[in-house]
Each structure stands twice: as structure tokens, then as C-alpha cells.
Structure 1
């Protein structure tokens, strides 16, 4: 059975992390599914670098959590309400 954690892990594969002199940059890979950018826009209000960092953080929490509904997310990076919306979106995608 495909879980919400599996869906989050699949979407995380669409990200490229660049480590440079100014720190880490999160961006979508060239072959990323449209769903990743669509979720950033729908949940976080845009497709820019800040929204992608929020999406990456939330997907990371979901993919690593035993129970994503009770997992703690860093509110400085991803507000709790947005995390809940993303979680609901992923659950809807997998039919859960």
C-alpha cells in the first residue's frame, strides 16, 4: 500500500540541493513532476525559492514521520496550518 510517507519521499526526489558559499539552495530538478511546483503554489502561495524550501521541509517531515499527523514541523520554516494543508493534499492524492 502506498502511504503518505511514500508520496512525500517520491516528491522529495524532485528536489536538487545546492551547497554553495551562501548556504544551501533548494530548487526543483529539471525533470521534476508538475505536481511538486503545483503543491508549492497551492499550499504556500508561490513557486519561488522560499516556497520550495517550505515544501521541502514539510515533505521531509512527512516522509520521516511514523505518524505525519502528530509530527512536529519547524514553524519558522513551514507554518503548521500549511503543513496540515499539504498533508491533506497528499492524503487526497493517494486516496487516504
Structure 2
């Protein structure tokens, strides 16, 4: 298994699911080849990187002028991104445990 998630693979789908929020075809590369996914610390860091990428793709890292209220579509996009990456992360952790 590659040591990167291309746009967290699923985040490319987020652009289709929420085009008003995620830029169409938006991709962010999340690497984890420097992390030891056999440890809680390594897994936590991977989760942090994925969260940062998802927030960026979904537009939660941008200031909205005139309001402090979070865009509901951006929140939906973020939830979708989190859920859709779980199986990729789980596979990477299992693979790391097998020396892969």
C-alpha cells in the first residue's frame, strides 16, 4: 500500500458531493511514510493530518465575511471526508502492523 492518501482518495468524492464548498477536483496529498502507525502517537498524527486536509478542502480554513456561523455545507463536507477516510486509515494501520 502506498504511504500517501491522494487527496485522501475520498476527498475527491467530496468535491462531487458538495461542489458549493469543496473546489471541484480539489486534491491534497496526505503522507504518512514518516509515521509509525503501530503506535498511538503515529495514528494520532495521521488523524491530525487528515483533519487538516479535510478542513482545507471543505473550506473550513477560510474566514467567512460577515458571520461566525459555520457553513452547513462545509460541515457536511467535513463529516463526509472524515467518514470516508476511516477505511483507508484502518487499512494503513493494519498494514503497518503486518510490517507492510
Q: Which has the larger radius of gyration?
A: 2
